[in-house]
A and B are shown apart, each in its own frame.
Chain A
Amino acid sequence: MSGSAIVMLIFACVVLYGGLFVTLRRAMKSRKKED
């Protein structure tokens, strides 16, 4: 795979799956607080 394609792959993974991880973690923490 070309270098620029790898950079875009990493960029997308960080934004999308990183964003999903952070927001899910936050939701789980707030659920624990509510419990």
Chain B
Amino acid sequence: MQRDRWSNRAAFVLAAIGSAAGLGNAWRFPYMAYSNGGGAFLIPYFVALLTAGIPLIVLEFSMGQKTQRGAPGALAKVGRKFEGFGWWAVLSGTIITSYYAGIMAWAWDYLAGSFTLGWAEDAGAYFYENVLQISSGPGTLGGFSTPVLIGLVITWIAIYFILRNGAESVGKVVLITVPLPVLLMAILVLRAVTLPGAIEGLNYFLEPNFAMLTNLSVWIDAYSQVFFTLSLGFGIMIAYASYMPEDSDIINNALITVFANSGISFMAGIAVFGTLGYMAQAQGVPISEVAAAGVGLAFVVYPNAISLLPGGSFVIGFFGFVFFAMLLSLGIDSAFSIVEAGVAGLKDKWGGSKKKVTLYYSIFLFVVGLLFATKGGLYWLDIVDHYVNTYGLVVAGLAEAVIIGWFYEPDELRSYFNSVSEYQFGNWWNVMIKFIIPIVLAVLLVNAFITDIGTQYGGYELKYLVYGGWIGVVGFLAVASYIISRQKGIED
């Protein structure tokens, strides 16, 4: 069967950048830098990029391009017994997309709210009462939140129509969805740096505290940030690279993706901290009191900061619209790329029409994601997100590095990607794949495991962590990966 192909190299690179640059670039990196030594965080961050991010993304591009298969098929070509780890990666992505689409649903609601300024009076109340209609805890699902359900339907329709024609339609969409958030972010940066108090905010973001570099947790955070920001361990980069001809440049494509993705994160840091500096000054409080990350930053703190902008309701609505349109355009590439990783794995294994596989897979993920559209959905999202990021993705990345480093000849893969690339990597790449990346990811894993055993994540009751995290995520990944990998496919 003829494999999907990108229309050109630019389409592939843009799709890879779009996948890597997601919501985390806007809401995770700025806070990570601020809380880990400000500007000094850039040093461990760049070290982590060089020693883990770049080697691992080159590994994923090479595996996909060389084998012309998605993650499960690519690992099966190394050894049949390794296919399960490919499914582990793909299924981790499956879980993530199911709630990632829910987060995008909130952004649709806020985007619509930019016309009525629904969130401008009190973004916290708007988020918890109007959008989520939040219940008392994970034990009370409380039915669906209608605004979230509507947003979820819109998100899945968009994902399906973008993916239904494969690399061809994705290649066209990313021409818009990758430059658009950068342009919108540039508007936010320009507004942020011209606000009173912005300089104080940027000082918090960039002023280096080099003493923090002696702290091990800063280095752990830098490596985890690099690992998550590049969409590694999902099998996405393997699937995308499998649609490239075998003789395409690998190293330069990987470097462009890495620099562009980190450049977007840095830009987001300037937009966020410039605006928070203004907010802190306007409210007469220190920046440490308004600085936040994740959902709280995007849906409560930042909208509150926008609502304080001078210029009246048109300006507030305009910048709110720009911000949420940026979040949506950042998120949509990441969401459909994860779905595509699953579609590629399923098609490689059992064949079938691209449109049908995409449709059924999207419907399945939409149905699973309905849990996160309930009034108790935020609690479950928080639990599932913690476990799938901590154990799903890190185990997948660790497995990739160990399998290629120890069960496959890394020199052979390096010879391959060097032979098709303009830049060349030396023996240091083997050292990173065999030793540094497995050690770093094992440290992340053990560190998280010890924390999870010692304290109940998020203060949730143990039964919810067991059902949602240990059984719902870790148990599901282990059992489903094993069972799927044991099934006969079209190539067996």
Closest to B258 in A: A19
Binary interface encoding of chain B residues 452-492 relative to chain A, with 1 for a CB under 8 A from any of its CBs, else 0: 00000000000000000000000000000000000000000
Report whether over half of chain B's contact residues are helix, strand or loop; otherwise say mixed. helix
Q: Which of A2, A13, A17, A27 contacts B203 (CB 8 A)?
A: A2
Q: How many residues does chain A have at the interface if contact means C-beta atoms less than 8 Å apart? A: 22
Known: A8-B38, A20-B259. A26 touches B207 (CB 8 A): no
Q: Which of B13, B199, B253, B263 contacts A1 (CB 8 A)?
A: B199
B263 lies within 8 A of A16 (CB): yes
Known: A15-B46, A20-B263, A23-B255. A2 touches B207 (CB 8 A): yes
A30 lies within 8 A of B422 (CB): yes
Closest CB-CB distance, A10 to chain B, in whole Å? 10
Bound-complex Cα distance A8 to B204 (A): 12
Tell me the number of A-to-B contacts counted with CB atoms below 8 Å. 68
Q: Which of B42, B253, B255, B422 contacts A12 (CB 8 A)?
A: B42
B residues in contact with A26, CB < 8 Å: 252, 422-423
Chain A CB within 8 A of B161 CB? no
Q: Which residues between 1 and 35 of chain A lie within 8 Å of chain B, taking CB atoms? A: 1-2, 4-9, 11-13, 15-17, 19-20, 23-24, 26-27, 30-31
Q: How many residues does chain B have at the interface if contact means C-beta atoms less than 8 Å apart? A: 26
Chain A CB within 8 A of B266 CB? yes
Q: Which of B207, B253, B260, B422 contacts A4 (CB 8 A)?
A: B207
Q: Which of B38, B205, B256 contacts A27 (CB 8 A)?
A: B256
Known: A1-B202, A16-B266. A8 touches B207 (CB 8 A): yes
B residues in contact with A7, CB < 8 Å: 39, 208
A residues in contact with B46, CB < 8 Å: 15
Closest to A19 in B: B259
Q: Which of B206, B259, B263, B423 contacts A5 (CB 8 A)?
A: B206
B203 lies within 8 A of A23 (CB): no
A residues in contact with B262, CB < 8 Å: 16
Bound-complex Cα distance A9 to B13 (A): 26
Chain A CB within 8 A of B80 CB? no
B249 lies within 8 A of A12 (CB): no
B259 lies within 8 A of A4 (CB): no
B residues in contact with A30, CB < 8 Å: 249, 252, 422
Closest CB-CB distance, B254 to chain A, in whole Å? 9
Binding site for B on A (CB under 8 A): 1-2, 4-9, 11-13, 15-17, 19-20, 23-24, 26-27, 30-31
8 sampled A-B residue pairs with Cβ under 8 A: A1-B203, A4-B208, A5-B38, A5-B206, A8-B42, A8-B207, A16-B259, A23-B255
Q: Which 8 A-B pairs have the closest CB atoms?
A: A8-B39, A20-B259, A5-B206, A19-B259, A16-B263, A23-B255, A5-B207, A23-B256
